[in-house]
Structure 1
Amino acid sequence: MHRPAQRLTRILACAAVPVILVASGCSSDDSSGAEDAQKDRSASSAAASAPAVEKAAYGTLPEACDTLSEKTLKDLVPEAKSLKGKTGKSDDTSSRATCSWNSLDNKGVDGSQFRWLHVSLMRFDSDEALGSGEQRAEKYYAKQLADAKATEDAKEVAAEPVAGTGDTATMVSYELKKKEGTFRQQSLVTRVENVVVTVDYNGAGLAGQSSPKTKTLVEGATKAGQEAVEAVTEANAEGAKDSGKKSGKDADGKDSGDNDGQGADPGKS
């Protein structure tokens, strides 16, 4: 009487084994999936909590040839054929812009006075991989200073901080002796927010003329640097008009592009 019941019990027990195994397998898969989901949530949470790179303060640049006032240009390059300057080539003028001027005051047999002025503007955007615009500008500022101090054949190299120009500024001065005369070079490098402004200004007395005093050139380069920084700030001010152009600019004619064949800094040639 009990054998059929015992046999039925064994059959049911054996039949239940695969069900348990399948259930066990499903339970294991669910646990693994839950762990993966938890990891994904943790990674997403960490990414969300990570500080985003700070947005760059300045988003544009003024035209480099419009950064200096007519008065300053007449003081620094008094015999320039055109105060419009020579615009440098750039594939993105909102990030990189340059302009140069030169002046030759020919006094005939008494010699001549040469001046060369160059303004460079570099703007850096914020980038998650490279850092904020300001951090990138700080690195470029340091590189510009290092390059100026390491100019080949430079003599009497000196570097001094300059107050009242951007967030930080340094003037690098040196001399280069060439067959034409002694060129006294001033390189003012300044950073304002995420923009680096570099002003190169040099002068030389040629064919018997005395070279200008370093103090005079330093004052001129400092004035140019202050105006260029102001132009950058104005170009990025809310509601700024005319890309930060100053009043009193030389407005006659177009850029002639004539630089007396002296388009490059003779002090760095």
Structure 2
Amino acid sequence: MSEGTMQRPAQRDQGDQRAKRRGRGLGRVLVCAAAVPVTLIVAGCSSDSGSGDADSGGKSADTAASASASPSPTVQAAVYKSLPKACGAVTKKTLGELVPKGKSGKEGTADEADARSSCSWSSLDNNGVKGSQFRWLNVSLLRFESDTSRGSGEEQAQAYYDKQIQDAQSSAGAKNTKSKAVSGTGDAATTVTYDLKKKEGSFKQQTVVTRVENVVITLDYNGAGLAGEKTPSAESLTKLAEKATKEAVAAVSAANGEGTGGDAGAASPSPSPSKGASKSPSPSASASASKAASSKSPSPSPSASKKS
């Protein structure tokens, strides 16, 4: 075999070896190329997942911040923080006209200086064989404090004002019931009058209900002629009741630093806010207390009737 013949196998062997090396190199390139998309996909998924978590966290934080920033419910503050003493809400001069033979007023047992106050007077003018004139007066004041669950003091007072009028109009045994608005007295005022027949005689009843801001004043006044004395006129009794109510409204204003309200005979407390101004009576409890005090007038005592 010639030298040239021996070189050709060697060249083929070398060529085969170079071809194998090129094949192995190309395989490694393809494997690497195949692996690249997988890496990119994994990296892309990881990136999206992180972005989603960030957005979720951001939304939660925004929601929490929005909730914490929401304003708390508010209600308009009550105008009046104090009440006058009911026994001093009407001047002595006017009391002398309404209950001429009356002694000092009797304070209500459930009075709370800053929330409710009431006072009553009775008078029996004995005219001997001619009979007697009986009078009874009750003044009740109720103040409402603003509350987010029940509304403003003025709104509560208006609701109670309406209820007091309805109660007076539906009094048991009332006859000839009449109602009329009263001008120039508080923010709203109504007088309810009716006749009431009792075993002692015929009574003329006047109920004046007034709202001034967040305070309601209920004034009950009745009169009767006993043992043959003539029955007083409803007109004269109504005029006196409305006069006394105007003085009670002035006393409320004076107790809160507005005006003077009444004369020296009607002692009003200082206008400083009461300590318990934040405590407000519930409308239901207030209504029952006031109704109990005003719906029924006391009858003359047996001893008074015997004198007549």
- Shorter chain as denominator, the TM-score bin is 0.7 to 0.9
Please state how far the C-alpha of 1:183 moved relative to its aligned partner: 0.8
Alpha-carbon contact 2:90-2:247 (below 8 Å) kept: yes
- Tell me the equivalent position of 2:156: 136
Among 55, 62, 68, the alignment partner of 1:31 is: 55
One-letter identity of the residue aligned with 1:7: V
C-alpha distance after superposition, 1:190-212 (max 9, x if no partner)? 11111111110000111111111
Q: What is the distance in 2 between the residues matched to 1:143 and 1:184?
A: 21
Please state how far the C-alpha of 1:24 moved relative to its aligned partner: 2.4
- Tell me the equivalent position of 1:3: 27
Alpha-carbon contact 1:65-1:87 (below 8 Å) kept: yes
One-letter identity of the residue aligned with 1:137: A
Distance 1:89 1:229, change over 3 A: same
What secondary structure is seen at the aligned counterpart in 2 of 1:2? helix
One-letter identity of the residue aligned with 2:297: D
- Tell me the equivalent position of 1:72: 94
- 1:216 has 2:240 as partner: no
* Match runs of 1:1-269 below 5 Å: 1-11=25-35, 13-15=37-39, 17-40=41-64, 47=71, 52-80=74-102, 82-83=103-104, 85-90=105-110, 92-237=112-257, 246-249=263-266, 265-266=297-298
150-159 or 100-109, larger mean C-alpha shift: 100-109
What secondary structure is seen at the aligned counterpart in 2 of 1:47? coil
One-letter identity of the residue aligned with 1:110: K
Q: What is the distance in 1 between the residues matched to 2:33 and 2:148?
A: 68
Superposed CA RMSD in Å reads 2.5
One-letter identity of the residue aligned with 2:53: D
C-alpha distance after superposition, 1:74-123 (max 9, x if no partner)? 1111111x23x111123632111111111111233332111110001111
Structure 2 alignment gaps of length 5 or more: 1-24, 268-295, 300-308
One-letter identity of the residue aligned with 2:298: P
128-137 or 178-187, larger mean C-alpha shift: 128-137
C-alpha distance after superposition, 1:11-31 (max 9, x if no partner)? 454455555434323322332
Q: What is the distance in 2 between the residues matched to 1:266 and 1:90?
A: 18
Name which one, 1 or 2, has greater alpha-carbon Rg: 2
Structure 1 alignment gaps of length 5 or more: 251-263
C-alpha distance after superposition, 1:27-47 (max 9, x if no partner)? 223323333444455556663
Alpha-carbon contact 1:66-1:245 (below 8 Å) kept: no
- Tell me the equivalent position of 1:258: none
Taking structure 1 as the reference length, the TM-score comes to: 0.82
Distance 1:10 1:164, change over 3 A: same
Alpha-carbon contact 1:103-1:114 (below 8 Å) kept: yes
Aligned length in residues: 247
What secondary structure is seen at the aligned counterpart in 1 of 2:71? helix
